[in-house]
Chains A and B, each alone.
Chain A
Amino acid sequence: MPGAQIEARGLAKSFQAPVLEDVSFQVRPGRSLALVGPSGCGKTTILHILAGLISGDSGQVELSPKEAGRSLVMQDHGLFPWKNAARNLELPLILAGLAPGERKGRVAAMLQSMGLAGLERRYPSQMSGGQRQRLALGRALIGRPDLLILDEPFSAIDAITRETLQELLVSLWKGLGLTIVLATHSIDEAIFLGDQVLVLGGRPTRILSSLDNPVAGLDRDQNLPAIMELAARVRQALAARV
């Protein structure tokens, strides 16, 4: 059952101060949406609403099919430091009520496909940043979600590893037919990973611009005219706020 459709309408959220105001968007099954905006603009808040961790003050999120599975890769990975790689991967399966035999098989397969074979007994603190991020990605995918939500997944990683991981994400996205929503503060990353790029800003935050991106996942050559033009439009939208 690949891909879920998301329909978010009029999301608003205040903490001490209003953070989000009237954020609406739609993501079609198997497509990806990149949220880009400055730190503190409410990206995590939107993703947590999508993931069902918090609810908005108003507005609604509709997933279809209704029972579509969703999982979240948290900012700073959210792995449990007291569990080794295999046990971190296993937890969602335990919570889903799978039998131990099946859990073992799926954990081994996920370690393999994330390029973490042989590291199953390592604790997160004993892994590199890139390996941790692979593990977090694997933990989010092991429950076979239709919607994958990623909160600045690669921002704490060196540039070379980041490119490898971005490619990995694209191949998973295309291979599994996932719907993806990701937050980033990197314009390049938003353009490489998002079919659609939502530029967020203002106070309280609203959508400054929504751009269709035909080159997502295809090329990362920043000198390509299509990519240069998109990047310029994102920068324009960010600069024009207030």
Chain B
Amino acid sequence: MPRRILRLALPVGFSILMWQISALLLGPRLLPGPLAVALDFFSCLGDRAFLKDFSASALRAGAGIALALAIPFPLGLAMGASRRLDALLSPIVFLTYPIPKVLLLPILLVLLGMGEAPKILLVAVTVGYQVLVVTRDSVLSLDPRFLDSFQSLWPRGREAHSKSFRRLMLVWHVLGPAALPSAATSVRLASGTAVAVLFMAESFATQRGLGYVIIDAWGLMDLPRMFSGILAMGLLGAFFYSLANLAERRLVPGGNA
């Protein structure tokens, strides 16, 4: 434990030191020092308005990520399991995959207005594309041994049972659990981008959220507050990163041997 703390404390301490030195060189009008930001951040923690902004962002990111699992994950499994569906959808997916999803923001704003929906949806689309592609690929690259194993467990005399029931069982017992860890990995890797697009969405299309706090403080040249907002958004990203990391490890008990 002390070793782990030390390993974390050293780089953090070094970064704060570099920050302090830069702040001294640039002066507080350009770069507030770590102490000023820390003080402001702690005052934010007791500030109901700031907490509301924080929870607004957290809810948007959380809902977006949840949505990015709820639909793309099953869809990715279905594409992996069904050649026909894959033939239909994968050209569309791979054509649109390289497009930066943040470009959808103005379109979503026009279509859905200024409420929560476009922000949540933008996060969901950003993360969901990753989840979809990774899930599909991990089904397609599944060790065929597992398919044989599943097939060998199918009782004789039930071959006639409905094909869709059989496919459902395959997805539920084999494909789904096999693909879940990679889906969690893709959420982990996309969590930074998720917060980034959320910042974009909140920076002009709303009066609530950490993105708004940052942009607002920037307009007022309230640099400590701006940094508090940035810190809070960073923590939000780190939170979802660790959450996905935890899920990933729990989903692969003792390693996927």
A residues neighboring B (CB under 8 Å):
48, 51-53, 67-72, 74, 76, 78-84, 91-92, 94-97, 123-126, 139, 143
Interface contact A67-B177, CB-CB below 8 Å: no
B14 an interface residue at 8 Å Cβ cutoff?
Answer: no
- In the assembled complex, the Cα of A145 lies from the Cα of B207 at a distance in Å of 67
| 8 Å CB interface, B171-201 against A | 173-174, 177-178, 180
Closest residue of chain A to B180 (Cβ to Cβ) is A82
Interface contact A67-B257, CB-CB below 8 Å: no
Interface contact A74-B254, CB-CB below 8 Å: no
Interface contact B145-A76, CB-CB below 8 Å: yes
- In the assembled complex, the Cα of A51 lies from the Cα of B151 at a distance in Å of 10
B residues neighboring A (CB under 8 Å):
145-146, 148-149, 151-158, 169, 173-174, 177-178, 180, 251-257
Interface secondary structure of A, over-half rule: loop
B155 contact set on A, CB distance < 8 A:
69, 92, 95-96, 143
Closest residue of chain A to B147 (Cβ to Cβ) is A53
A96 contact set on B, CB distance < 8 A:
155, 158
Interface contact A95-B253, CB-CB below 8 Å: no
* Additional pairs, 15, CB under 8 Å, beyond known A80-B146, A92-B155: A52-B156, A67-B157, A71-B153, A72-B152, A79-B149, A80-B177, A81-B257, A82-B180, A82-B253, A92-B153, A95-B155, A95-B158, A95-B169, A96-B158, A143-B153
A selection of 12 A-B contacts at a CB cut-off of 8 Å is A67-B156, A69-B156, A70-B156, A71-B153, A78-B148, A78-B152, A81-B255, A81-B257, A82-B251, A95-B155, A96-B155, A123-B254
- In the assembled complex, the Cα of A82 lies from the Cα of B182 at a distance in Å of 13
B256 contact set on A, CB distance < 8 A:
81-82, 125
B37 to chain A, nearest CB (A): 44
